[in-house]
C-alpha cells in the first residue's frame, strides 16, 4: 500500500532502540526510553502560510527523525504500527552519511557520540539501581 500524508504531516515508522549497551549489557524493557526515533515513510505537500501558499516540509521520505515523545497519532496500516506526526513534532533529523562523512543538523558527530555514550552510561546506572531496589 502506498502511503500519502497531507499538509504538514508525515507518516513515520518507529525505529527500535538497541537491546544492548556498547559494552554488551542487555537492557531490560524498563530501562529503555520511549521510542523517539523513526523513519519517514511519507510526507505531506507542506503547510499553508498566512497568504495561503504552501511551504514545503524540511523532511523527506527515508529521513530518520527524532520526534516529540507525546506528539503524533498512532495508526495501524496493514498490521503495522505507524505514527502520523505534524512537522512541528519533529525535533530534528538523525545524522546521515554523505560521501563517507557523517553530517547532522543536530550536533557534531563527536558530540553525538559523546552524548550517546553518556545516555548509555545513565541507562546502565538506572538498570543497576532498579536491580538494587528489588
Q: Where are the domains of the chain?
A: 9-94
Statement: residue 28 has pLDDT above 70: no
Q: Model pTM greater than 0.75?
A: no
State how far the Cα of 91 lies from the Cα of 66, in Å rounded to an integer. 5
State how far the Cα of 38 lies from the Cα of 13, in Å rounded to an integer. 5
State how far the Cα of 48 lies from the Cα of 102, in Å rounded to an integer. 33
Tell me which residue has cell 560521501. 99
pLDDT digits (tens, 9 = 90+) for 58-105: 888 888 888 877 888 899 988 899 999 988 888 888 765 544 555 545
- Domain 9-94: which CATH class? mainly beta
Average pLDDT over residues 19-42: 68
Amino acid at each position: 500500500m502506498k502511503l500519502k500524508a497531507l499538509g504538514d504531516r508525515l507518516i513515520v515508522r518507529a525505529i527500535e532502540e538497541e537491546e544492548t549497551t556498547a559494552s554488551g549489557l542487555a537492557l531490560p524493557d524498563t530501562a529503555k526510553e520511549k521510542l523517539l526515533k523513526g523513519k519517514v515513510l511519507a510526507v505531506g505537500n507542506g503547510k499553508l502560510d498566512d497568504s495561503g501558499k504552501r511551504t514545503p516540509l524540511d523532511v523527506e521520505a527515508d529521513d530518520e527523525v527524532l520526534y516529540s515523545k507525546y506528539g503524533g497519532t498512532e495508526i495501524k496500516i496493514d498490521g503495522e504500527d505507524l505514527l502520523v506526526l505534524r512537522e512541528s513534532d519533529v525535533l530534528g533529523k538523525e545524522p546521515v552519511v554523505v560521501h563517507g562523512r557523517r553530517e547532522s543538523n543536530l550536533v557534531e558527530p563527536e558530540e553525538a557520540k559523546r552524548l550517546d555514550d553518556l545516555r548509555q552510561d545513565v541507562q546502565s546506572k538506572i538498570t543497576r539501581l532498579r536491580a538494587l531496589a528489588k
